[in-house]
Structure 1
Amino acid sequence: MTGPESEELPLRRAVCPGSFDPVTNGHLDIIGRASKLYDVVYVAVMINKSKQGLYTVDERIDFLRQTTEEYGNVKVEAFHGLLVDFCKQRDIPAIVKGLRAVSDFDYELQMAQMNNGLSGVETLFVPTNPTYSFLSSSLVKEVAAWGGDVSHLVPPVVLESLSERLGRK
């Protein structure tokens, strides 16, 4: 075939950034929805050397790779520094963020405007599935540490690890 039909269209890329300490079903809902809209979705795991997480960056990357492999178009990588630099290096024009509540929007809007001003990268806000509207990694860790049931909030691989790490069975 020749002509415009034979030319490959550029891949539509987006990034879902976060600390993912640990990844929750809410994170996976946003990543899964983004994977239906974009050809390639990068999951950027933030490295924050001043903050000690429950899981190392490598462990978080491993959890994410295991739990997103079914999508086939998700790439998981660590990043340190400005998210817009991560985007520039990979030719990513869009950031996808989940919003749980109005309070998330206030903060995320400022970040979106800053990122756009720095680099022209757009931010798309996806409303969180109501099932996960209260969910955060911090709450999962706290509830799990006290022996609460978080089995409906995290993927099985994370649940197993939380039980081992926090000494709960």
Structure 2
Amino acid sequence: MSAAAAGAHVTHVDASKGMVGWAKENAASSGLSNAPIRWLVDDCVKFVEREIRRGNTYDAVIMDPPSYGRGPKGEIWKIEDSIYPFLELTTKVLTENPLFFLINSYTTGLQPAVLTYMLETALTSKFGGRVESSEIGLPVSSNGLVLPCGASGRWIAN
């Protein structure tokens, strides 16, 4: 929603029809009903593969992959096994001078250091720029501790 609110043309892809519906509701609630957002219910890997074949490119990617999922033909997505090949594949739809690449992961199995390594390997080596990653957590009000919930990483062009 932030990218659309800032004026970007957005392509939102999710394999879950329900999630796309929820995202559309969120856009409407945010005053973005008429924003240039293309809503697609599709397998993200297959979508990226088609975009590569079509020669379509993007200035940025915001990725929020599931920890686990099953495709309609029994395909299994496990973030620990699938995220790096998908990240590498997705770099092929970036323009020659991309702006940023964001990944959120709501699984404690993917640490910030791992996200940093993956983003540096796939993006910094190809485009320069810098990587920042951090832990996502929920504060526990009773004792001031933070409950780990995942990690977030971003590659940013110079």
| TM-score after normalising by structure 2 | 0.38
Higher Rg: 1
Higher share in helix? 1
Higher share in strand? 2
Which gives a bigger RCO, structure 1 or 2 (Cα 8 Å, sep 6+)?
Answer: 1
